[in-house]
A and B are shown apart, each in its own frame.
Chain A
Amino acid sequence: MTPLSALRGRLLGLPVWVWRGVLLHAGALFIVAWSAGPFLWQLSTSLQEDKALVADTPSYLPIPATLEHFVNIFTVKQFQLYLLNSVIVAGATTLFCLVLGALAAFALARLNIRGRFGILGLILSISMFPQIAIVAPLYLLATAMDLLDTYTVLVVVYVALGLPLVIWVLFGYFHSIPREIDDAARMDGAGPLTILFRVTLPMSLPGVVTTGLLGFIAAWNEFMFALAFTSDIGTQTVPVGIANFTNLYYVPWGDIAAASVVVTVPLVLLVLTFQRHIIAGLTQGAVKE
C-alpha cells in the first residue's frame, strides 16, 4: 500500500485518498466490463428472437427470450457432431501432451542432463515458429500417409504444438518440489519412472490438472490446421463449424451466438474454477529468469 503520507491534501473538497479509491474501483469496473461485456452481449443475443436482433433499437436483455437458436444449431446445423469431434481431438491431445510432457519435464527438472536450460530454450523457441510455415509440408505428409480427414492427424499436430508450453509449465511445477524427497525415494531403491509416477506427479497434481487444461483449451480453440486438414463433418472441429456458420442470404447472428455460448461456457467455468493455478502456471515464465 502506498503510505498515507503521500496522499495528504484535498482535491475539490475531498481528501485525495477518497479520489484514489474512487478511481481504483472505476478502473476495476472498466476491466470487468471489458472482459465480460462482449461475451454477456453474445449470451443475450443467443436468447433473443431474430426480429429483435434486426430491430432499429437493439434490446439489451433477451425479453421475450427464446431457445430457437439453440434448437436450430442442434437440429439444422448438427452442432453436436462438431462438439463430439472437438471433445475427442482435444481430449486425446491433452492425454498425449501430459504423458510426453511429464516424461520430458521430469527428465529436464529432475535427472542429470547436461545443458538442460539450453534444451528447454530450444523447445520453447519451437513454439514461436509461424504455424503457417509447417501447414503445407504437413499437408503433403498427411496426404501421403492417407491421414487427411482423420482425428489422428489433428491429434498428432496438436500434441506437437502443445508440448513446448506443457513441458515448460510442468518443468516449473516439478522444479518447485524439494529434491530431498526424490533422494529419499532413490535411497529406497526407486527408479526414475517410479519416482515420477509415485512421487512427483501426485505431489504436483494441481499443476498437472492446470497444464492439462491449458493443453485442452489450446486444442479446443485451434482453427487453421483443422481448416486445412478436415473437410467433412465427420472430423471437423467446433471452430471450423462456427466459421462455416453462414446462410446463403443473411448472417445467422442468433445461431452463431448460441453456438458461441455452447462452446465457451464450459471453458469459462473451467477457467474460473482453476483461475489461481492457471495464472500461476502461465506467468511463471515471465517473471523467473
Chain B
Amino acid sequence: MAMTGSIAHRIAGPGRRFRLGSAQAPALLLLLPAVGALAAVSVYPVGLGLWLSFRDTSLAAPDDAFLGLRNYHDLIADPTFWNAWAHTVEFTVASTVAETVLGLGMALILYEWFIGRGLVRAAMLIPWAIPTVVTSKMFGWLFDGQNGIVNHLLRVTGLIDQNVNWYGSTDTALLTIIIADVWKTTPFMALLLLAGLQTIPRSLSEAALVDGAGPWATFWRVRLPLLMPTLLIAALFRALDAFRIFDLVYVLTGGGPADSTETLSTLTYKTLFSTLQFGYGSAMAALMFATEVLIAGVFGAVLIRKLRETER
C-alpha cells in the first residue's frame, strides 16, 4: 500500500512533491475534528480517571481528598478484586482459546467449496449483529434451570438425569457465560481467519500435496504457519475484548451467584455506581488498564517473533 504511493511520488517528480507538501495544513485541519473528539472523550477521561484513582472521591459523601497510593494499596489487599481478576483471566483465556480453535475449524470448512457456501457465510454474521444484551437474555432462556431447552435436549438424549441450574449455580455459571460468548464471537473469528487463509496462495498447499505430504501434514507445516500472524492478531483483539466483558455478565448473572461470575468490569461498575466510590473504582479501572497493556505486550512480542521466523 505505502509502496505504490511512494512509487507514484517518485514518478511524478519534484514539482508534485512540492505541491503535496503544501497540502499538509489542510490535511491536519481535516484530521482535527476526529482527533479532537477522540482526545476529549477517550484520552482526556483516561487521564482524569488516573487522577481520580489517587483520591477518595465519592458521590455519596463530599469527600474529595488526595490519598496518594492508598486506593492501590487497599485494592491489592482486597479479596473481591482478586476474585474478579481471576474470573476475568479465566474467562479471557478459556473463551479466546475456544473461539480461536473453533473459529479455525469453521474457517477451514468455509475455505473449501460446497453447495450454499455464500448462505453459510451470511448466516455467520447473525451472532455478531445481535446486541449482546439480547444474547444474554437469549442464553438466559436457552439455559434456564427449569424450562430451558438445553436442559430438555440433554435430558432427552440421556446426557443428564436432572436439570442443571446452569447460571444459577456457582459450579456452572461462569461456564454458561463462556458458552454464550463463544457462541457470539466464534463465527466472526472464523470470518477473520478465512480472510487470512484466502491470502495464502493455494499453489503452496497444492505443491506440498503433490510432493507427497498428506492433508494433515500440509495443514500443520504449510497453512498453519502462514496463517499464524493473522491468527495471533485476531486472538489478540479477541483477548483484549474478552478481558473487558461486561454486558453478558451484568445482564445474565449480575456477577452472581455468590460472586462466582464477577469480572473486573462488573465489579468496577458496581463500585462506581452502586457504592459510588469513584476514587476506589477508578483505581480498579487503572489496574485493569495495566493488565490489558500487559496482554497486548505479550501478544505483540510473540507476534514479532513469529513474523521474524517466517521471514527467515
The answer to whether B310 has its CB under 8 Å from any CB of chain A is no
- B115 contact from A25, A54, A175, A183, Cβ within 8 A: A25
A283 touches B31 (CB 8 A): no
What residue in chain A is nearest B180 (Cβ atoms)?
A38
- The interface stretch among B75-83, B169-177, B278-286 is B278-286
- Give the complex CA separation of A36 and B128 in angstroms: 11
- Give the complex CA separation of A220 and B269 in angstroms: 21
Known interface pairs A6-B209, A104-B34, A132-B265. Does A35 touch B49 (Cβ–Cβ under 8 Å)?
Answer: no
The answer to whether A12 has its CB under 8 Å from any CB of chain B is no
B24 touches A163 (CB 8 A): no
B131 touches A238 (CB 8 A): yes
B43 touches A126 (CB 8 A): yes
Chain A contact residue count (CB 8 A cutoff): 106
Known interface pairs A1-B113, A3-B206. Does A108 touch B31 (Cβ–Cβ under 8 Å)?
Answer: yes
A193 to chain B, nearest CB (A): 8
B147 touches A279 (CB 8 A): no
- Give the complex CA separation of A275 and B43 in angstroms: 33
A132 touches B142 (CB 8 A): no
A66 to chain B, nearest CB (A): 17
In B26-64, which residues have CB < 8 Å from any A CB? 26-28, 30-31, 33-35, 37-38, 40-46, 48-49, 52
A37 to chain B, nearest CB (A): 9
A134 touches B45 (CB 8 A): yes
The answer to whether B224 has its CB under 8 Å from any CB of chain A is no
- B269 contact from A54, A58, A134, A135, Cβ within 8 A: A135
Most chain B CB within 10 A, of A41, A191, A224, is at A224
- Which residues from B are CB-within-8-Å of A107? 26-28, 30-31
The answer to whether B72 has its CB under 8 Å from any CB of chain A is no
B138 touches A104 (CB 8 A): no
Most chain A CB within 10 A, of B5, B137, B247, is at B137
What residue in chain A is nearest B251 (Cβ atoms)?
A243
- Which residues from B are CB-within-8-Å of A260? 130, 134, 137-138
Chain B contact residue count (CB 8 A cutoff): 113
B54 to chain A, nearest CB (A): 13
- Give the complex CA separation of A160 and B44 in angstroms: 12
A160 touches B40 (CB 8 A): yes
- B247 contact from A27, A128, A223, Cβ within 8 A: A223
- A6 contact from B117, B199, B214, Cβ within 8 A: B214
- Which residues from B are CB-within-8-Å of A95? none
The answer to whether B273 has its CB under 8 Å from any CB of chain A is yes
The answer to whether B140 has its CB under 8 Å from any CB of chain A is yes
Main SS class of interface, A: helix
Known interface pairs A28-B116, A137-B48. Does A223 touch B132 (Cβ–Cβ under 8 Å)?
Answer: yes
- A192 contact from B23, B186, B281, B289, Cβ within 8 A: B23
- Give the complex CA separation of A270 and B43 in angstroms: 33
- Which residues from A are CB-within-8-Å of B273? 228
- Which residues from A are CB-within-8-Å of B194? 283
- Which residues from B are CB-within-8-Å of A263? 131, 134
Known interface pairs A107-B31, A264-B131, A268-B129. Does A128 touch B43 (Cβ–Cβ under 8 Å)?
Answer: no
Other CB < 8 Å A-B pairs besides A21-B114, A111-B27, A240-B133, 12 of them? A3-B206, A31-B110, A39-B127, A58-B147, A100-B33, A113-B24, A133-B282, A136-B278, A179-B8, A224-B265, A242-B131, A272-B125
26 contacts between A and B (CB under 8 A): A31-B123, A35-B124, A38-B139, A39-B138, A53-B147, A108-B31, A113-B27, A126-B42, A128-B296, A130-B243, A136-B52, A136-B282, A137-B49, A138-B45, A141-B45, A156-B41, A221-B132, A221-B133, A223-B250, A228-B269, A238-B131, A251-B140, A253-B141, A260-B130, A268-B130, A287-B195
**Interface of B toward A, CB cutoff 8 Å:** 1-2, 4-5, 8, 12, 19-21, 23-24, 26-28, 30-31, 33-35, 37-38, 40-46, 48-49, 52, 105-106, 109-110, 112-117, 119-134, 136-142, 144, 146-147, 149, 152, 183, 186-188, 190-192, 194-196, 198-199, 205-206, 209-210, 214-215, 230, 233-234, 237, 240, 243-244, 246-247, 250-251, 264-265, 268-269, 272-273, 278, 281-282, 285-286, 288-289, 292, 296
**Interface of A toward B, CB cutoff 8 Å:** 1-3, 5-6, 21, 24-25, 27-28, 31-32, 34-36, 38-39, 41-42, 45, 53-55, 57-58, 99-101, 103-104, 106-108, 111-114, 117, 119, 123, 126, 128-141, 156-157, 159-161, 163-164, 167, 175, 179, 183, 186, 191-192, 196, 217, 220-221, 223-224, 227-228, 238-240, 242-243, 245, 251, 253, 256-257, 260, 263-264, 267-268, 270-272, 275, 278-279, 282-289
